Amino acid sequence: MRNAITAEAFLAHQRHTMLAIAKMLEEANIEDVKIIEPSDEVPFFVLMSHYYADENPEPYSLTAIFFPETHLSDDGLLLQLFLQLPSGLMPQDEALIARVLPYLNNALPFGYFSLIPQDDGFWYINFRYVHMVSAKNGLDVSTLRDYFNLMLRLPSIYDMPLRRLIKKEITVTELFKMLENG
């Protein structure tokens, strides 16, 4: 029987991973990166970042946290990555986007979009990806860097077409044709 990693080793592993992610984001010219240390309220590291893309005046929010359990197995830890698109949805728009997202999710190579309510009363489009990190071997930086590069491009691929759909500038059919054609 394998030994489970200790709580101290888990926190050290989280710290190391979050520092590696912060470095990756800084290499991608994202300067607003903050690592929040574990506390009594939140017993794990949280990495938060905001960045601008595609000349959008509103920032995209990128968050990384480990799955809230200390570990799920002796070998792996689940790192959750969240990318929140900046524009909140009005109630009438939420229903349209809720119908479209499952079709977008079927076309994604990894991760998925969902709608998340926020305290400001709006719903936001959120992208989530879960990445397995080896507790024994640590973070595979090159693989995770590839995923981050894809995640950082998601706004340019999906956000503007979704905004155009909400503004009724395009139809759902046109949205899918745009996304199909790149």
**CA-CA-CA-CA dihedral for 48, 125, 173, 182, to nearest 10:** 0
| Residue keyed to tokens 């977008």 | 104
pTM score, two decimals?
Answer: 0.83
Q: Do residues 176 and 169 lie in contact, with contact meaning Cβ atoms separated by under 8 Å?
A: no
Which of 3.10.129.10, 3.30.1460.70, 3.20.20.10, 3.40.50.920 is the CATH number of 7-152? 3.30.1460.70
**What does the pLDDT look like over 64-102, one tens digit per residue?**
998 766 555 666 778 899 999 888 888 788 889 999 999
Closest CA to 33 of 41, 124, 24: 24
According to DSSP, the β-strands at 46-51 and 123-134 are unpaired
